[in-house]
Amino acid sequence: MPEAPELEKYAAHAMEDIEQGTSLWRDAWHRLQKNKLALFGGGFILLLALACFLSPFLGIQSYEEQNLTLGATPPSAEHWLGTDLLGRDLMARILYGGRISLSVGLAATAVSLLIGVIYGTLAGFLGGKTDALMMRFVDILYALPFTILVILLMVIFERSLLLLFMAIGAVEWLTMARIVRGQVLTLRRQEFIEAAEALGLRKRRIVFRHLIPNVLGVIIVYATLTVPSVMLLEAFLSFLGFGVQAPMSSWGTLINDGAKAMEEYPWLLLFPASFFSLTLFSLNFFGDGLRDALDPRASKD
Amino acid sequence: MLRFILRRILQAIPVLIIIATLTFFMVRLAPGKPFDAEKATTPEIRARLEAHYGLDKPLLQQYFSYMGNLVKGDFGPSFKYANRSVNELIAASFPVSLELGAYAMCIALMLGLLAGVIASLKPNSPTDYVPMSMAMVGICLPTFVMGPLLILVFGLTLGWFNTSGWFFPSDRVLPALTLGGYYAAYTARLARGGMLEIMHQDFIRTARAKGASEKRVVLRHALKGGLLPVVSFIGPAIAGLVSGSFVVEMIFQIPGLGRYFVTSALNRDYAMVMGTVIFFAVLILVMNLIVDIVLVWLNPKLRFD
């Protein structure tokens, strides 16, 4: 049995420990730092995004400046990644296409996030018959051949970037709604929510202080994983000629152009294709790493 | 079981009606008429064409006659290929797509299962890392990157295969690899995950304790349960193979339904587009139903409900 002063010391020590307990986010950051592939993925995406969005201000050659006498040339000191059939600098075109592809990826993910999170939270929170009905509707939509409907939409209406965002976002929200609803359902049954209710906290405080921060991790993870699947869908549409229209170009159209000219000028295919694949690769690894890091059930180490 | 199938079919009917209605009105209310793009049409010819296809009638009447024909399985005449019905075009091109899809599915399942199961036997060893890194690369190479790359390497550089066409048995190799590769990679990941989870279960330990050989444990006890995630992936995979076939058939110039769909969409042959969309929807719904039945058959814990 320790003496009384010592007990106090223990108590003070314990208090300190509680106060210095690491937050969910700091924990996640520590875990993420150990995952080298995820860090590489995140770093690559960051660099790429910076290069793509800052390229208009860097003073490199414009993506549309033609030089017909030059034609298609392999990589050289002046044009690092070579030039295309019209003598346009491939590097500038890839960075410009990346800007479109990344923008579509982010914007359509935002659309799907907005619909999916609101829908999923509502379904999970209301529960009962409303929930059953809402999720049945999602199930039915899941069965639709959506890629085909998006193609139909792009064929029928005037093709614009806005329509592309909306169409892709309208497809991708389903998974998000399912995941968020599942999370809200399990969280609502957990003891700490019950405890918060027993303490007499107001509903709004429970939702914002206790529910949202716990769902946030999952939302961030799936948003990160939605971006590559959106970019894939955009590139798929653009490759077939249903997406981004000339004179704009995305990575999908660049790969399509490259595939047509690969017999004589293989670099026109290889460079855009590797940028695209590397981006998908990085986003997927970063998303997976985030999931491992943010999963509250993962053990502390 | 029979009730389950019947109920699923009953559920599928409203879905199909929704799809048909949606596509019908999207197409009819779109800006621009189907024959606007024809260069040499005078207003008289266009009026005759529209009368021929019933486009001059009130919208609702058109809708009901289209739906009436649809119930009989008649998709109507094509707007672009004169004197050919959408049914004929689908009947001519779908077998090609089916063949391609079947090869791709075989590649996906055989390659994917083999790689996934091998990787799961010794986790975190070279026999795990090598196939799984290859799977990760496969997932990041979509069909429209993989196809041109395969052509570049095996068609143009090595000259082993034709770069396009659908004439000889060897012409099947590159398209099937392109289409199946992505799903092989995904299958491998799912199979590995499923097997790893099963191998930790009590009944596997029991089997080992009773002296079953490792081969018997894997093949007789673990495989059936471990492959459940793969089976549930087959449904979405088939839907993906359908849209993947658009790209692959365009790249390799294969006269299948996917290429017809893309070209008719680019040409605004609305009758053909609508027919194909509904056809694909039926196909995907039927395949999903089959997958669900197999899933319950494999996993008695699930019931038909």
B136-157 pLDDT, tens digit each = 888 878 888 888 888 888 877 7
pLDDT score, position A266: 82
Q: List the end-to-end C-alpha distance of chain B, in Å, as a whole number.
A: 9
Query: What's the confidence (pLDDT) of residue B69?
Result: 81
How much is the pLDDT for A298? 46
Query: Is the CB of residue B229 less than 8 Å from the CB of residue B190?
Result: yes
In chain A, what is the straight-line distance between the N-terminal and C-terminal CA atoms, in Å? 32
Asked whether the beta carbons of residue B144 and residue A235 sit closer than 8 angstroms, the reply is yes
B159 touches chain A (CB under 8 A): no
Is B156 in the A-facing interface, judged by CB distances under 8 Å? yes
On whether residue A29 sits in a domain, the answer given is no
B9, containing H or E segment: helix B2-28
Per the structure block, which two tokens stand in for B216?
């018997």
Sign of the torsion formed by the C-alpha atoms of A196, A134, A140 and B242? negative
In a domain, A24, yes or no: no
Q: What is the mean pLDDT of residues B81-97?
A: 82
CB-nearest to B281 from A145, A259, A269 is: A145
Point out the residues of chain A with pLDDT beneath 70: 1-24, 58-72, 77, 79-80, 85, 87, 143-145, 158, 295-301
Supply the pLDDT for residue B296. 77
Instruction: Encode pLDDT of B186-208 as tens digits.
Output: 888 888 888 888 877 888 888 88
Instruction: Tell whether A176 is covered by a domain.
Output: yes
A81 part of a folded domain: no
Q: Which of A91, A92, A86 is CA-nearest to residue A72?
A: A86
Chain A interface disruption, residue of B243, B274, B291, most A CBs within 10 A: B243
CB contact under 8 A, A153 and B26: yes
**Least confident span in B10-14, B46-50, B216-220:** B46-50
The answer to whether A156 faces chain B, any CB pair under 8 Å, is yes
Q: What is the pLDDT of residue A204?
A: 79
Within an 8 Å CB–CB cutoff, is residue B183 touching chain A?
no
What's the rounded Cα separation, in Å, for the pair A153 and A167?
8
A155 touches chain B (CB under 8 A): yes
pLDDT at residue number A236: 86
- Whether residue A140 is contained in a domain is answered as yes
Whether A293 has its CB under 8 Å from any CB of chain B: the answer is: no
A300 lies in a domain? yes
As a whole number of angstroms, the distance between CA B128 and CA A266 comes to 33
**Contact criterion met (CB < 8 Å) for B140 and A140:** no
Residue A240: give its domain's CATH number. 1.10.3720.10
- Cβ-Cβ contacts under 8 Å between A and B: the total is 105
Question: How confident is the model at residue B8, as a pLDDT?
Answer: 78
Identify the domain containing residue A160 by its residue range. Answer: 101-301
Mean predicted confidence (pLDDT) in B88-96: 85
A301 is a domain residue? yes
Nearest CA in chain A to B259: A240
> Which pLDDT score, from 0 to 100, does residue A98 have?
85
Spatial separation of the C-alpha atoms in residues B202 and B143, rounded to whole Å? 41
Cα(A103)–Cα(A53) distance, rounded to whole angstroms?
Answer: 10
In chain A, the number of structural domains is: 1
Angle subtended at Cα A280 by Cα A277 and Cα A286, rounded to the nearest 5 degrees: 135
Specify if A14 maps to a domain. Answer: no
**Min CA distance, A226 vs chain B (Å)?**
14
- What pLDDT was estimated at residue B32? 62
pTM of the model: 0.79
pLDDT in tens, B277-292: 888 888 888 887 887 7
**Could you tell me the pLDDT band of residue B225, with boundaries at 50, 70 and 90?**
confident
Q: What pLDDT is stored for residue A6 in this prediction?
A: 62
Rounded distance between C-alpha atoms, residue B225 and residue B202, angstroms: 13
- Per-residue model confidence (pLDDT) at position B50: 73
Chain B 10-39, residues with CB within 8 Å of chain A CB atoms: 11-12, 14-15, 18-19, 22-23, 26-27, 30-31
Task: List, for residues A275-295, the tens digit of each pLDDT value.
Answer: 888 898 888 888 878 877 776
Averaged pLDDT, B109-129: 84
